[in-house]
């Protein structure tokens, strides 16, 4: 069990009809993706042809920020706002798709982009799966 699941199990109030497994997975994938995107941006900046990676770096940094924020929002349950949560999840899925697409363009030349693209795909899927449980 990951840290997110362990924390959800300790929450003192009933979370209602939330799918705890989908929520925990999404939180974990958001933080994993944020780290991967941050590391990928840094690696891109160290590449010889960094000018070719400007869009990738920007996408990495945007995605990292959005994923980190999403993971933090999903970790808070007091005063829950379903509409805000849906909007944040949609934004995160969109950022992950965009970043994943850009990283895939460079994956053949840069292993860090391949790893990042995979993290983005997993996070996008986790966001979409959680959204599907929210109705």
11-22: pLDDT as tens digits: 888 777 889 999
Sign of CA dihedral 49, 50, 55, 60: positive
CB 127 within 8 A of CB 92: yes
pLDDT score recorded for residue 76: 93
Q: Give me the mean pLDDT over the 30-36 stretch.
A: 98
Quick one: how many helices (H) and strands (E) in the chain?
5, 0
SS3 label, residue 135: coil
Higher pLDDT, 80 or 54: 54
pLDDT of residue 17: 80
Q: What value does the mean pLDDT take over residues 51-69?
A: 97
81-108 pLDDT, tens per residue?
899 999 999 999 999 999 999 999 999 9
pLDDT at 114: 98
Sorted by where each starts, the structural domains of the chain and their CATH numbers stand as 18-133 (1.20.1270.360)
């Amino acid at each position: 069990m990951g840290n997110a699941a362990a924390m959800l199990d300790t929450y003192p109030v009933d979370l209602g009809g939330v799918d705890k497994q989908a929520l925990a997975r999404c939180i974990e994938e958001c933080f994993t993706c944020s780290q991967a995107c941050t590391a990928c941006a840094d690696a891109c900046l160290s590449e010889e042809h960094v000018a070719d990676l400007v869009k990738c770096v920007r996408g990495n940094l945007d995605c990292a920020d959005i994923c980190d924020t999403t993971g933090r929002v999903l970790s808070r349950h007091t005063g829950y706002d379903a509409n805000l949560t849906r909007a944040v999840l949609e934004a995160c899925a969109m950022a992950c798709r965009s970043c994943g697409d850009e990283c895939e363009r460079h994956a053949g030349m840069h292993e860090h982009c391949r790893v990042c693209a995979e993290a983005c795909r997993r996070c996008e899927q986790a966001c979409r799966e959680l959204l599907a449980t929210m109705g």
